[in-house]
Amino acid sequence: MELKLVRVDFAALETDALILVEAEGHRRPDLEKPLAAIYESGEVGGKFAEFTLVHGVQGFAARRVLIAGSGKPEKFDTAVLRKLAAAAIRFLKGKGVKHAAFAVDDATEANVAAVAEGLAAGGWEPDRLKTEKSKATLVESVGIVVSGSDAADASLDAAFERGRIIGEALNLSRDIAVEPPNKLTPTTLAEHARTMAQAAGLSFEVLDRDRMRQLGMGALLGVAMGSAEPPALIVMHYQPEKPASADRLALIGKGVTFDTGGISIKPSEGMEKMKYDMAAGAAVIGAMQAIARLKPNVAVTGLVPAVENMPGSRAQRPSDIVTSLSGKTIEVNNTDAEGRLILADAITYAKQLGCTHLVDAATLTGAIVVALGHVSSGVFASNDDLLARWMAASEESGERMWHMPLDDEYRELLKTVYADIQNIGGRWGGACSAAMFLKEFAEETPWVHVDVAGTAWLDEASSSLAKGPTGIPLATFVNLALNWR
């Protein structure tokens, strides 16, 4: 779907469908007279994602006008606008609309960027492997229409590009994350990253099994032992021409291309969803594409430890002890707590590469879903300044985050007499003890951990997004880098 920024009086724009935003309890002056009968009938209420499609509206050149309810005015912000743009384009699918336009009434940079990102995200479908696609569902192009005194502002072009680039990166990550595990192995995940990096101009390398052995990545290699598929540690580097500081930000994403649980095998019901255990890794790959195109003034390294967790004859066993890259020994008491093991070595490697600030994201624990449901991602941090930066970036992106506790008492749950640390802390506070495990390897380096187990995937389509991967927390990754000072 092609996106473009259009500077024109939207009433004069000829298109298949013109999208106009209307708040709950309000009537648009430009629609009140031509649609008086519809307003009086109560058909248009302005509730969020409530849509009314009207043909041949007097005073508008568009063949159809779609009135998109934005909800209560006091709750309206760029996050709502972003979701509304996505929902509107999804509503128009199957309506025979090939060319549409979205009128931005308040043409600020933030609003233009939000609409561009939302339209791109809403246009995505998880149907890449279908042999037949209904062409009636396709919207080929959407114009983001700005008019009035603000339309000439050149900064709107940059805002449009920012939103479009983030939206395209989201869709790249979703294209990767939706692939089935027979097609997406650690090796093919690395090839996806390599293709992206070469096109975006990023430095790129992959550490294979032999290199990991030489370095001593026993935690990551232990998880990979049960699979015939070799592991890969994907490393992508972005270097600005004129960095504002010596800081180097690391974005680290869990890349388990399929997770059976290993010897601590999962129940069969729902196991098919474990192909999305690499969604955070896909989000890092997409974020690095956006960062390469948007060119923030901070150096960024993206790392994706990629493995398949299988119960093969060589798989690690509960009670095995592995030596991590940091030199710390880990008692593996549950092989289904594998994400923290591969992240531990990736975190240590990021530090060895000179990264000064660390952010990792992972579909790590079911416990975070119990705590926060599918609404917010859980955030844990060792550094207040980096936490504040992360939360500000998430607010801008519209990706909901909730700060979780990381008290010293959670470390007590990971004590063992046989090794330096064990990889599971028991039933209670599971998301917190998992985060505390990772903190052990971040040590004194400023670090944020984001558990997206409840937010990285939609079991059913919503009004604004298709079923499948959401791309979270890609937009927050990108905004963190863009806002770095």
The whole-angstrom separation of Cα 101 and Cα 142 is 5
**Listing from the earlier edge strand, what are the strands of the sheet with 320-323?**
320-323, 329-332, 421-422
Q: Which of 194, 266, 317, 400 is catalytic?
A: 266
Name 338's Cβ contacts closer than 8 Å, sequence gap at least 6: 223, 256, 259, 262, 307, 309
Q: SS3 of 249, please?
A: strand
Distance CA 358, CA 156 (A): 32
Residue-wise DSSP of 373-435: TTT-EEEEES-HHHHHHHHHHHHHHT--EEE----THHHHTT--SSSSEES---STTHHHHHH
**Cα-based angle 71, 73, 74 (whole degrees, multiple of 5):** 115
Tell me which amino acid residue 45 is: G
133 an active-site residue?
Answer: no
Catalytic residue among 90, 248, 293, 340: 340
Distances (CA, A) of 425 to 256, 341, 343: 21, 14, 17
CB proximity list for 115: less than 8 A, separation 6 or greater: 81, 82, 85, 102, 104, 144, 163
Q: How many Cα atoms are found within 13 Å in the side-chain-facing hemisphere of 313?
A: 0
What residue type is 7 in one-letter code?
A: R
CA–CA separation, 120 and 352 (whole Å): 37
- 448 membership: H or E segment, kind and range: strand 447-451
Neighbours of 138 (CB within 10 A): 14
Q: Compute the distance between CA of residue 19 and CA of residue 13 in angstroms, rounded to an integer.
A: 11
| Residue 340 annotated as catalytic | yes
In the structure encoding, which two tokens stand for residue 218, read together? 């026993």
Say which residue the tokens 């430890």 belong to.
305
409-414-418-423 Cα dihedral, nearest 10 degrees: -170
Q: Which residues are catalytic?
A: 266, 340
